[in-house]
């Protein structure tokens, strides 16, 4: 979506450098341009980025450039400011190791782990090892999940996407929790963009891709952003963000349509929340600028200890008027969004993951006596309708029964509503990941996880287990499904259409068909049957 004039200028500026780098880099199969680090790690050719030269390593027959700084460290006076360009360098930077994860508190979930580093705005570039010079390969930019409160690019290995799909994958860190999402009068009146700092980081990383990816053999005019959970929400957010215009050409949303964070807070509500945070960390004063100065003087440890509730919660997005000017529903209805082809979908048993986390924490399974109470608490005046649609007798277990309405109301039906709006404006493909035998890297719990939230990631990023989960592997049938999913995702990245000769046909959603990603093979199925299975007529009537 970058304008042709800008695109042509960008490409002409970098392809000369890229050609020289890639001509030598393409010799890697013969090891003619490789030297070894201690321990036998093989270096790639040096790539000259706009900020300075970097050198990565050859691993799993792909090139890895890990921990490239794309923005200055957001510390000191740069805390709670938009990302800034890093200082340039002339020495060759060693990019063979991941760099720090962004600040996050202690949590029971497995997506993230505790970090006290604010110097975390790094990205990773993965390329095939046998590219031709000036390859101009499709580029896929991955935005990690974690509820906008934790997570890291370091946990995702895209080797299959790169090798099978012949694509370049970029994974990015961005500020999360209160460090990435804070509105406060003293901050918001400093004369810079505010509140949605984590989204600004994502867009700054996308600008880095525009300016640099041709040097690695990628096409800046063919960029797909994709992400799961909060990463999928981030993709939707960038779809409607005016400041993301021109930075990507396609979008893939995995389990990102959940209701709890889809609607941004008003600025006044967000600033009220920010003032509660300032009070919690003993920085609230009668002078907004003094409050900000106090906050910027705190250490990460002090913020994480005194403001733990704000560090550990899923932070809201804010209607700040610049990065976000309207809601998803408003933008998709009016067509006032970055119109690119979209893949969007959810998993069949999304909420079983969260029930499993609850059971793991309590040490007890949800029982039948708890089921009705929880439905009453969760759905209030609509509880009788929910109980009628989801009778306990229809399920093998009470925890499975409790997860079903949450899956449908929080994930599946909101995703279908967004897809229905998108298909009116852009080519849209819908999927449901439905492999209920998916390997479980999550905490052991009584509930059968089924096709759980995040369960599909390991089919795209082999071996994914969050930051701290159990090691798993795909069986032969699951590996075949993985191969098909990688084909869909990377073919879509090439030309905006997931279809190819090696995979079953995936129809546009405008045909009222969707793709069931399941064993033994993906299959196009009836959208009306999917809506019925997830009781979307009920949830549409309740949530409108």
> Would you please indicate which residues are annotated as catalytic (active-site) residues?
229, 350, 453
Torsion, CA 350, CA 438, CA 466, CA 57, rounded to 10: -140
**8 A C-beta contact, residue 295 and residue 281:** yes
**How is the chain split among helix, strand and coil, in percent rounded to 5?**
45, 15, 40
Element counts in the chain: helices (H) and strands (E): 21, 17
Q: Are strands 342-347 and 428-433 parallel, antiparallel or unpaired?
A: parallel
CB count in 10 Å sphere of residue 298: 17
Q: Cα(120)–Cα(70) distance, rounded to whole angstroms?
A: 10
Q: Cα(398)–Cα(542) distance, rounded to whole angstroms?
A: 23
CA dist 433 to 458, 478, 516, Å? 12, 12, 6
CB count in 10 Å sphere of residue 115: 19
Torsion, CA 451, CA 161, CA 124, CA 41, rounded to 10: 110
Torsion, CA 410, CA 413, CA 419, CA 424, rounded to 10: -130
**8 A C-beta contact, residue 213 and residue 253:** no
Q: Tell me how far the alpha carbon of residue 34 is from its chain's centroid.
A: 33
Q: Cα(333)–Cα(187) distance, rounded to whole angstroms?
A: 32
DSSP H helices in 98-241: 159-165, 177-180, 185-188, 197-212, 230-240
**8 A C-beta contact, residue 231 and residue 186:** no
Residue 87: which region, alpha, beta or left (left: phi > 0; alpha: psi -120 to 50)? beta
Q: Which of 183, 181, 175 shows the shortest CA–CA distance to 288? A: 183
Please give the structure tokens belonging to residue 518. Answer: 């399941």
Q: Cα(46)–Cα(92) distance, rounded to whole angstroms?
A: 8
List, in order, residues 6 or more apart from 361 with CB less than 8 Å away: 108
Q: Tell me how far the alpha carbon of residue 241 is from its chain's centroid.
A: 16
Q: Are strands 513-517 and 523-526 parallel, antiparallel or unpaired?
A: antiparallel
CA dist 165 to 141, 169, 485, 488, 507, Å? 14, 10, 10, 9, 20
């Amino acid at each position: 979506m970058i304008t042709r004039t800008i695109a042509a200028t960008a490409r002409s500026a970098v392809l000369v450098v890229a050609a020289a780098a890639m001509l030598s880099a393409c010799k890697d199969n013969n090891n003619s341009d490789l030297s070894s680090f201690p321990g036998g790690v093989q270096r790639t050719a040096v790539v000259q980025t706009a900020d300075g030269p970097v050198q990565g390593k050859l691993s799993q027959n792909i090139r890895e450039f890990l921990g490239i700084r794309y923005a200055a460290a957001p510390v000191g006076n740069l805390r709670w400011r938009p990302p800034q360009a890093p200082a340039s360098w002339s020495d060759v930077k060693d990019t063979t190791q991941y760099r720090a994860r962004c600040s996050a508190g202690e949590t029971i979930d497995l997506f993230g782990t505790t970090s006290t580093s604010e110097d975390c705005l790094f990205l990773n570039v993965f390329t095939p090892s046998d590219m031709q010079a000036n390859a101009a390969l499709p580029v896929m930019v991955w935005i990690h999940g974690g509820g906008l409160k934790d997570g890291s690019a370091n946990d995702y290995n895209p080797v299959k996407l790169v090798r099978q799909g012949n694509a370049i994958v970029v994974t990015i860190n961005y500020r999360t929790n209160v460090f990435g999402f804070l509105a406060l009068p003293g901050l918001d009146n400093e004369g810079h963009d505010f509140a949605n700092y984590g989204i600004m980081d994502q867009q700054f990383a996308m600008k880095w891709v525009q300016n640099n990816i041709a040097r690695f053999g990628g096409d800046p005019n063919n960029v797909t952003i994709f992400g799961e959970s909060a990463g999928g929400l981030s993709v939707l957010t960038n779809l409607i963000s005016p400041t993301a215009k021109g930075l990507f050409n396609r979008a893939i949303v995995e389990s990102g349509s959940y209701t709890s964070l889809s609607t941004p807070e008003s600025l006044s509500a967000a600033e009220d929340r920010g003032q509660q945070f300032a009070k919690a960390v003993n920085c609230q004063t009668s002078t907004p600028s003094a409050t900000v100065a106090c906050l910027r003087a705190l250490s990460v440890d002090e913020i994480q200890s005194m403001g733990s509730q704000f560090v550990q919660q899923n932070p809201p997005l804010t209607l700040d008027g610049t990065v976000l000017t309207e809601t998803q529903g408003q933008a998709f209805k009016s067509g006032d969004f970055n119109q690119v082809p979209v893949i969007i979908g959810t998993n069949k048993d999304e909420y079983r993951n969260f029930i499993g986390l609850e059971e793991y924490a309590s040490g007890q399974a949800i029982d039948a006596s708890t089921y009705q109470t929880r439905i009453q608490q969760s759905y209030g005046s609509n509880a009788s309708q929910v109980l009628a649609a989801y009778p306990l007798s229809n399920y093998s277990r009470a925890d499975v029964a409790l997860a079903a309405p949450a899956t449908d109301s929080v994930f599946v039906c909101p995703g279908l509503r967004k897809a229905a709006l998108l298909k009116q404006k852009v080519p849209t493909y819908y999927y449901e990941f439905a492999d209920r035998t998916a390997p479980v890297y999550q905490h052991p719990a009584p509930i059968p996880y089924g096709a759980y939230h995040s369960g599909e990631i390991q089919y795209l990023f082999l071996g994914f287990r969050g930051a701290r989960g159990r090691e798993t592997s795909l069986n032969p049938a699951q590996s075949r499904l993985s191969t098909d999913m990688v084909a869909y995702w990377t073919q879509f990245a090439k030309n905006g259409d997931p279809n190819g000769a090696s995979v079953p046909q995936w129809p546009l959603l405008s045909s009222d068909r969707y793709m069931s990603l399941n064993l033994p093979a993906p299959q196009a199925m009836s959208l009306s049957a999917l809506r019925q299975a997830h009781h979307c007529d009920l949830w549409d009537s309740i949530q409108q």
